[in-house]
Structure 1
Amino acid sequence: MYEQKTKETDNSVVEFIESVDSPKKREDAYKLLDIFTETTGFEAKMWGPSIIGFGSYHYKYKTGHEGDAPLVGFSPRKAKISLYFAPGDPDRAELLEKFGKHTTGAACVYINKIADVDVEVLKTLIKQSMQFLLKTYPQE
């Protein structure tokens, strides 16, 4: 049976941010914490050892695989800051064109620092991602 690696934990978000080596990344992590909290209306929770997530949803794929994940989140990693938005959201690409300096992965958007991106576009990405996931995976 598949065991989901990234689960919500009771670990402290502030302790995690304080453990980030780079003072600039720590500062950006606190700014992101404020932006995500204000935009989502959810309290930040740790998911696994290094993802700060907001809200949650339950997904179930056609394969039968299912689990829980944060609606949105971020992680101040050593190389870049990872932003977690809904994979598969068809409207994401258009917003990312206006976002600023970033790279993308399957579900992640990577930035070096907040100063490189448009915070208003970030807020829109957060809201849009949440709406997409809640529409795609309605919660009972």
Structure 2
Amino acid sequence: MYEQKTKETDNSVIEFIENVENLKKREDAYKLLDIFTEATGYEAKMWGPSIIGFGSYHYRYDSGHEGDAPLAGFSPRKAKISLYFATGDTERGALLNDLGKHTAAKACVYINKVADINVDVLAALINQSVQFLKERYPNH
């Protein structure tokens, strides 16, 4: 049986951010905390040891694999800051074009610092991710 690794925990978000070694990354984490909280309307929760997530949804794939995940989130990692949005949303690409300096993977968008991006576009990405996931997984 598959055991989901990244689960919501009761760990302190503030304590986690305070333990981010790089001062600039810590400051950016606080900025992102404000942006994500305001955009989602959800309280920040730790997911696993290093992801700050907002809201949650329950997914079930055709393969039968299922679990819970945050509607949106971020993680101030050592190399870059990871931003987590919905996968499979066709409108994400258009918003990413206007985000600013970033690299994108299937589930993550990576930035070096908040100053490199347009925070209004980030808020739009967060809102769009939450809306997409609530429509796709309405029973959570």
Per the normalisation by structure 1, the TM-score is 0.99
- Match of 1:36? 36
1:58 aligns with 2:58: yes
Alignment of structure 1 residues 11-22 onto 2, 5 Å: 11-22=11-22
Q: CA deviation at 1:5?
A: 0.2
Alignment of structure 1 residues 68-107 onto 2, 5 Å: 68-107=68-107
The alignment partner of 2:25 has SS state of: helix
Structure 2: segments with no counterpart, 5+ residues: none
CA distances 1:66-89 after superposition (whole Å, capped 9, x unpaired): 000000000000000000000111
Q: CA deviation at 1:106?
A: 1.1
Q: Output the CA distance in 1 between the equivalents of 2:109 and 2:68.
A: 20
In the alignment of these two chains, the number of paired residues is 140
Q: CA deviation at 1:139?
A: 1.5
Alignment of structure 1 residues 109-124 onto 2, 5 Å: 109-124=109-124
Structure 1: segments with no counterpart, 5+ residues: none
Q: Output the CA distance in 2 between the equivalents of 1:110 and 1:33.
A: 16
> Where do 4+ consecutive residues of structure 1 move more than 6 Å?
none
